[in-house]
Structure 1
Amino acid sequence: MKRPLQPIDSRSIPELVTTELRRSIVSGDLAPGETFSLRKIAAMLDVSFIPVREAVRNLEGEGLVITRPGRSACVAPLHLEDLQGIYRLRRNLEPDLAARSSVQITDAALDRLQAQAEDFGHERHTIQTVYDAHHAFHAALLAPAATAWDMRVLNSLWRAAERYIRIGFSKLDPDPQDKSRRQHAHEGLIDTFRRRDPEAVSEAVLVHLTRNEAAALRALADEPGATGT
């Protein structure tokens, strides 16, 4: 009898290193433009050099890292025109998906999302703790009308924007009013969805995206390593 396949870990060491480096970059712990040694990273993570090199290549493909000759790399600078391009694409996709979703999504789903929106204003949250939930919130709003390809494209755009949003909006957290504004903005989206008016929903999502882009650009205007206008 042939030997059966053996179970393997669902995530390899390079994947784990990629995840940890990505977390450090999108949170700003590794700052835009900062140079780092691959060997020092390997020592900090207690892994060999090879998975770190592979992780850096993965992150270079995501536009987060720039490799350099030798054994060093640097965190890609923030290009604000890239953020504007991401939001331009989002404005072409999300309002239309939201309009179509608004007549398909169930009341039960909206009730669940209402509870999530209320939690966004909790004092314990920063942009770092709420980002993943915020991502899931918008995905759930659009899911009834979205195809698998729609979600692939949107997830790519959301990931590309993640570093800009986390770094930019983290600057707003010292103002307690920003937490309540975050809550009320998302509760307002739910209220508009409950009206089952596709045109109103499309406009509400467009306004939501435009305001978020403007806030992120303001927050990042003086960020070291940010370029463009």
Structure 2
Amino acid sequence: MTKSSAVTNEDAVTARLRRLIVDGALAPGAKLTVSALAARLGAGATPVRAALKLLEGEGLVEALPYRGARVRALATEDIRNIYRLRAAVLGVLVPDVVRHVSNAELDALDALEAQFEAAVEAGDGAGAMAVNQAFHRALFATARNPDAAAVMERSWALVEALRLRLGFGPGRLARSVESHRALLAALRARDAVRATALVIASSDAAMVDLLARAAATGA
């Protein structure tokens, strides 16, 4: 096997294992062993070990000294810490977005927002999450700050797993639509202060909603 094919194999195993965790097929707290995962995924031990290491970096997997690994179960404080980190990074990213974003890129964001609104209108929570991720990935790419964008990217799977398990509070997605529209208007006006405040406020609102959902479901 060549080096390039080995990398591709590791990427594929990582993607499949990430999906199992995000979709809940491997529940929070589930023990993860290399041998069992290799059999389940039809993969060798080496790419499985690499996948576990990468997903540990994303916060989806927790290493257990001398006992292997397990799917990370998040406590209330863990959720708060994730969103505090995201808010701090957003404070760096959004002014860079305002500085660099082009009108063509704003048009592309408008198109993604239209897709998001259509998913929300249809009551498609999973579809709305997928488009929301695409919207923010495109937004952060315009900052020309790949290191900061990578921090946000690493937490998306974790946030998606939480949302798929806990759902959305009443009106949460409708408020996200309003926030996106206000953000796009601020970006068109090249108003860095307002754009940054809007994005951080939206992130904080998402945290509050997730915490409320966790409390309501006993998660």
TM-score w.r.t. the length of structure 1 is 0.74
Task: Indicate the residue corresponding to 1:60 in structure 2.
Answer: 56
2:21 counterpart letter in structure 1: I
Q: How does 1:88-127 map to 2 (within 5 A)?
A: 88-121=84-117, 122=119, 123=122, 125-127=124-126
Partner of 1:20: 16
**What's 1:3 paired with?**
none
Q: Is the 8 A contact 2:183 2:198 kept in 1?
A: yes
Mean Cα displacement is larger for which, 52-61 or 187-196? 52-61
Q: Deviations over 1:173-221 (max 9, x none)?
A: 696x554443333222112222222222222122111111111222223
Aligned residue for 2:62, secondary structure, equals strand
Output the CA distance in 1 between the equivalents of 2:180 and 2:108: 12
- Structure 1 pair 12/71, CA: closer, same or farther in 2 (3 Å)? farther
Corresponding position of 1:217: 211
* Percent pairwise identity: 29
Higher-RCO chain (CA-CA 8 Å, sequence separation at least 6): 1
CA–CA separation in structure 2 for the residues paired with 1:7 and 1:55:
16
1: CA distance, partners of 2:94 / 2:63: 39
Pairs aligned (count): 215
Deviation at 1:26, TM superposition (A): 2.4
Q: Which runs of 5+ in 2 are unaligned?
A: none
* Structure 1, unaligned runs of 5 or more: 1-5
> Is contact 2:83–2:207 with CA below 8 Å preserved after alignment?
yes
- Partners of 2:6 and 2:28 lie apart in 1 by 31
Instruction: Using the TM superposition, give the Cα deviation of residue 81 of structure 1 relative to its aligned residue in structure 2, in angstroms.
Output: 1.9
1:192 equivalent to 2:190? Answer no
Could you tell me how far apart the structure 1 residues matched to 2:3 and 2:47 are?
21
TM-score by length of 2: 0.77
How far is the alpha carbon of 1:130 from its aligned partner? 4.2
Residues in 2 aligned to 1:222 and 1:173: alpha-carbon distance in whole angstroms: 11
Post-superposition shift, 1:78?
Answer: 0.9
AA in 1 matched with 2:203:
L
Bigger Rg over Cα: 1
Q: CA deviation at 1:117?
A: 0.9
2:138 equivalent in structure 1: 140
Are the equivalent residues in 1 in contact too, given 2:58–2:158 (CA < 8 A)?
no
1:60 CA displacement: 3.4
Match of 1:32 among 22, 28, 31: 28
Separation of aligned partners in 2, 1:15 and 1:171: 28
- Greater percentage in helix: 2
**Aligned equivalent of 2:198, options 187, 204, 207:** 204
Change (3 A) 1:158 1:217: farther
Name the residue aligned to 1:168: 163
Measure the CA separation in 1 of the matches of 2:143 and 2:52. 36
User: Could you tell me whether the CA contact under 8 Å between 1:66 and 1:75 is conserved in 2?
Assistant: yes
The SS at the match of 2:109 is helix
Change (3 A) 1:104 1:81: same
Matched residues in 2 for 1:198 and 1:54: separation? 40
CA 1:7 to 1:192, structure 2 compared with 1: closer, same or farther past 3 Å?
same
